[in-house]
Structure 1
Amino acid sequence: MEGLKEMKESTGGEGLKRELTTGQLSMISMGMAIGTGLFLGSGLAVGASGPSVIISYAIGAFIVLLLMGCLAEMTVAHPTSGSFGTIADRYLHPMVGFLVRYSYWIAQVLGIGVEVSAIAVYMKYWFPSVPGIVWIIVFGAVLIYVNLTSVNAFGTFEYWFSMIKVSAIVGFILLGAYVLFGPTGQHHGGMNNLVSDGGFFPFGFKGMWIAVFISLFSFLGTELIAVTAGEAKDPDTAVPKALKATVFRLTVFYVLTMTIMLMIVPWSQAGIEESPFVKVMDYLNIPGASGIMNFIVLTAALSSMNGQLYASSRTMYSLSTERFAPVIFGKLNKKGVPTVALAVSTAGIIVAAVVSALMPGSSYAFMMGISMFGSLFTWLVIFVSHLFFRKRWEKAGGRKLPVKMLGFPYLTLLGGLLLLSLMITAWFTDFKIMLQFGVPWLVFLSLVYLLVKKKNHDVTPANKQHKDAV
């Protein structure tokens, strides 16, 4: 128990300011998850599976539900900005903690590139002749400025931008339901769209399963609540409430919106040249509606990108405080923001700009593929960490936690096995790049860890005294 207590005391705020409320935590997580994965990436999932994508998103939501149950319990026990990296360090092995934090960092950095690439796609709706790289630079600069302000200002920004997205999705669901089932007598598509043109499973079980993998990209970001716990006012109350609300809302939003969208617009018209949601508005011929929806999906990408800048900077900050990154990355400005860690985390914007210039027609899918590995690897480590955490926590006589994962260890194992099988599935899809990038990345990080560990060991006070004595 003493060791666990020591861990909690040593990794609490780490100099960061605890200013985020329960409402802000919930909306930040929602803002991360409701981004281009739903508004733009859903076109990829529909194209791979057809109407059965509805089942794909339901399975993806189930995996996230299991993940959040594990994460909520561990995060309440250890509310730190290092989050799942610190937990993996203590309950698995320091090397695993190192690998997961750097993998999560690179995932967020590259994820920033995904979102800003999507922003360039959205802006073509109004400015088709302006090169995408212009919008990448402009919006990248704006969000860097926002992240340089206090964490409370960041939380407020995310809260209202997420509120716009949530309100838009609720409005989309209500509008779609009215169009489909209302008394107008001018129904569009309906249930027939779900079974025509190849049936509900036009690409069989394989297509549906591949779409589960793609759907996971839509849910990436929900784990950010664990990262923000280090700056939450009351982690014991805020984290469980925010996680439960997030999982419930995301499940309802994703499944309902996908169902309504496919009932209105034939699935064969889905794609990633523009948001499927904008296509729905065009299809319904509602004056000005497609422009409004394009603005909403633009704010969705900005919000998600903003959250990823936050997550990547805090992850790098955590690495620095534990001497696995240069000390300068752990320095805070007067407002409690790790400015140098933020600066290095903007690399994704540069990568996106280069990829957009070299691959203007396929930059989004490419960036999406290489950014997924770090996040899914992090999720897998969370499941494995929970298996060891629960046993050690109870054996050490840890306090009774306000939230507890049900069905342990069976549901924890189920979540991990489902996720691992989906990661392997990627090798047989167009997202093979995820593993082609991810596996060498882990090998590279392992070598770096061994070098950093040796360096840190060589400069410890005990070693220094020994050398002086000799």
Structure 2
Amino acid sequence: MIGLGGAIGTGLFLGSSLAISQAGPATIVAYVICAAVALVIGWSLAEMVVVHPEAGAFGVIAHRYLGPWAGFVIRWTYWTIQVIAIGGEVIAAGIYVQFWWPSLPLWLPVVVFSVVVLVVNTAAVKLFGEVEYWFAMIKVVAIIVFILLGVVLVTVGLPDAAATGVSNLTAHGGFLPNGMNGLFLAMVFVLFSYIGTEVVSVTAAESENPVRDIPRAARRMITRLALFYVLAIAIVLTVVPWTTTAQGGSVTESPFVGVFSAAGVPAAATVMNFVVLTAALSSANTNLYLTTRMMHSLAANRYAPAWTGRLSAAGVPRNALALSALGLALAAGVSAASESEAYLALFGVSVFGALVVWLLILVTHHAFRRARAAQGLPPSPVRLWGAPVTSVVVMLFLAAVLVSTLFIEPLRPAWWAGVPFFVIVSAAYVITSRRAKSPVRSPDL
């Protein structure tokens, strides 16, 4: 449920309109393809973390098999993009509130929600897990209800709306209105919906039985995500013309809310808006948990200030939490300065870094298998099917999607920030490595 909570967020409920603006009804195909990509990532991680169920997850494993530089870069990159993603989630939550109160300044709900998320994460991890479980449950139940109501609306109709049928899937330019180029560009936004699936590996160190729990959680989470996403997006595109749902590629409200509004079901639209609001808060809540643990892992390797590794009496790394809350402060500032572009600005930088992290995870997986084979060690209890062919194909796909962000105007600035970021992080590694005495030695298999 924590994995679902981290993945089901604004990427589906808000960012899907951006994908639809590029590919139209073919966005359904994009969600299927990206589900397969996420499955490869999740299974690669499961194969590695059942052998190394440690705090820091793929960051520590990259340290072991690719060297200290890779461990440093992947953890700091992941921490940074998730900190930015937290800001994007609370901004999205503020946009949802404006559905009810359009004149409300965006920064006000952003600040309020930031405080709520911080309070939950300050508590003991057991309380966090309980809160996140119910947050995720709301999202899962809501998506199921949405799909069921959508099927009724498509097939037999509702009291105030006639059955829509499936004509919207081929009308308005056809199923693939912008050609293969549009489908590929949509992958950028669709992949963002699956970012967060790696959270399962981060929880390995706090799992009672990671060898049993992590593979099972990864498999169930990704298959359920794929089912929810594909069916939900299919309903959105079937009920409302894609040209309406795309909203010109802008972000003003969730397309899920738009479905009920277009069907003349205002009460359902209000309920759905509340659901997507809790979805954004849930994702922000989970991402703050992730960044806090990643910062704690960096401190353990002396790649972050020692004070960020200290635990409270409840076992929570509160100093790391305070530093990870920078994304919330960033969100408040950006939402006050530029309401209309706030979400897209944070989205672009976050997705750029996330694609790089996924690429490094797959490179680590390749090194993990090669090193264990060279040492004559037994294979992991969990094995990625078809590797290394499947992992190489996914690496090429991710690299191509990363390059394609250069051709999407709102996301192009992410390169201007992303490339200098990696230069700065590499320089920081050179400085910190001179004093770091890491407890993790590579390759200590």
Q: Does TM, normalized by the shorter one, top 0.5?
A: yes
Q: After TM superposition, list the pairs within 5 Å mapping 1:164-313 onto structure 2.
A: 164-182=138-156, 187-270=162-245, 271=247, 272-313=251-292
Residues in 1 aligned to 2:157 and 2:234: alpha-carbon distance in whole angstroms? 20
1:439 aligns with 2:419: yes
Per-residue CA deviations over 1:378-399 (Å, capped at 9, x if unaligned) read 1101111111101212333434
CA distance in 1, matches of 2:5, 2:393: 27
- TM-score (norm: length of structure 2): 0.95
Equivalent residues of 1:100, 1:374 under 8 A apart: no
Structure 2 Cα separation of the partners of residues 273 and 316 of structure 1: 33
Paired residues of 1:52 and 1:201 also in contact (CA < 8 A): yes
- Name the counterpart of 1:450: 430
Q: Does 1:128 align with 2:102?
A: yes
Which structure 2 residue ranges, 5 or more long, are not aligned? 440-445
User: What percentage of residue pairs aligned between the two structures are identical?
Assistant: 42
Whole-angstrom distance in 2 between the partners of 1:355 and 1:161: 26
Matching residue of 2:443: none
**Per-residue CA shift, 1:196-226, capped at 9, x if unaligned?**
1111111111111000111011111010111
Q: Does 1:144 align with 2:118?
A: yes
The Cα shift of 1:183 comes to 7.3
Q: What's 1:28 paired with?
A: 2
Stretch of structure 1 that moved more, 175-184 or 295-304: 175-184
CA root-mean-square deviation: 1.6
Following superposition of structure 1 onto structure 2, how do residues 274-353 of structure 1 map, counting pairs within 5 Å?
274-353=253-332
Q: State the TM-score, normalized to the length of structure 1.
A: 0.90
Distance 1:368 1:183, change over 3 A: closer
Separation in structure 2 between the aligned mates of residue 56 and residue 432 of structure 1, nearest angstrom: 21
Structure 2: distance between partners of 1:209 and 1:448: 35
- CA distance in 1: counterparts of 2:225 and 2:235, whole angstroms: 15
Classify the secondary structure of the residue corresponding to 1:288. helix
Asked if the contact 2:372/2:379 (under 8 Å) is kept, the reply is no
Q: Which piece of structure 1 moves more, 427-436 or 88-97?
A: 427-436
Distance 1:60 1:433 in 2: 24
Question: Residue type of the partner of 2:118?
Answer: I
Amino acid at match of 2:196: G
Letter in 2 for 1:123: V
1:132 partner amino acid: L
Give the 3-state SS of the residue equivalent to 1:310 in structure 2.
helix
Moved more, 300-309 or 358-367: 358-367
**CA 1:262–1:188: 2 relative to 1, 3 Å:** farther
Q: Name stretches of at least 5 consecutive residues in structure 1 with no aligned partner.
A: 1-26, 461-470
Distance 2:436 2:271 in 1: 54
Structure 1 distance, partners of 2:266, 2:425, is 52
CA separation of 1:184/1:346 partners in 2, compared to 1, >3 Å: closer, same or farther? closer
Q: Distance in 1 between matches of 2:287 and 2:232?
A: 24
User: Is the deviation greater in 316-325 or in 73-82?
Assistant: 73-82
Give the aligned partner of residue 467 of structure 1. Answer: none
Letter in structure 2 aligned against 1:358: A
Structure 1 distance, partners of 2:422, 2:217, is 31
Superposition deviation, residue 184 in structure 1: 6.5
Distance 2:292 2:329 in 1: 16
Q: Which amino acid aligns with 2:291?
A: S
Structure-2 separation of matches of 1:80 and 1:376: 23
- 1:116 to 2:90 alignment: yes
The aligned residue for residue 389 of structure 2 is: 410
Are residue 427 (structure 1) and residue 406 (structure 2) matched? yes
Do residues 49 (structure 1) and 27 (structure 2) align?
A: no
Distance 2:58 2:204 in 1: 11
Q: Deviations over 1:163-222 (max 9, x none)?
A: 110000011111111111237696443321011111111111111100011101111101
Q: Counterpart of 1:180 in structure 2: which amino acid? A: V
After TM superposition, give the deviation of residue 323 of structure 1 in Å.
Answer: 0.4
Per-residue displacement from partner, 1:397-447 (whole Å, max 9, x unpaired)? 434533111111101111111111111111111211222211110000000
Structure 2 counterpart of 1:65: 39
Q: How many residues align?
A: 433
> Which amino acid in the other structure matches residue 159 of structure 1?
Y
Counterpart of 1:456 in 2: which secondary structure? coil
Aligned to 1:15: none
Q: Do the aligned partners of 2:153 and 2:164 also contact (CA within 8 Å) in 1?
A: no
| Distance in 1 separating the partners of 2:286 and 2:40 | 23
Aligned CA distance change for structure 1 residues 281 and 47 (closer, same or farther; 3 Å): same
Letter in 1 for 2:17: G
Q: Which has the larger radius of gyration?
A: 1
- 1:83–1:123 distance in 2 versus 1, CA, 3 Å: same
Q: Is the 8 A contact 2:48 2:380 kept in 1?
A: no
- C-alpha distance in structure 1 between counterparts of 2:401 and 2:391, whole Å: 16
SS of residue matched to 1:455: coil
The answer to whether the aligner puts 1:373 opposite 2:348 as a matched pair is: no
Paired amino acid for 2:222: V
Question: What CA distance in whole angstroms lies between the structure 2 residues aligned with 1:123 and 1:398?
Answer: 54
Q: Which residue matches 2:442? A: none
- Structure 1 residue 239: Cα displacement: 0.3
- Look up the SS of the partner of 2:386 in the other structure: coil
After TM superposition, give the deviation of residue 129 of structure 1 in Å.
2.0
**Displacement of 1:456:** 3.4
Matched, 1:393 2:372: yes
Rounded Cα–Cα distance in structure 1 between residues aligned with 2:435 and 2:126: 37
Shift in CA distance, 32/456, structure 1 to aligned 2, threshold 3 Å = closer
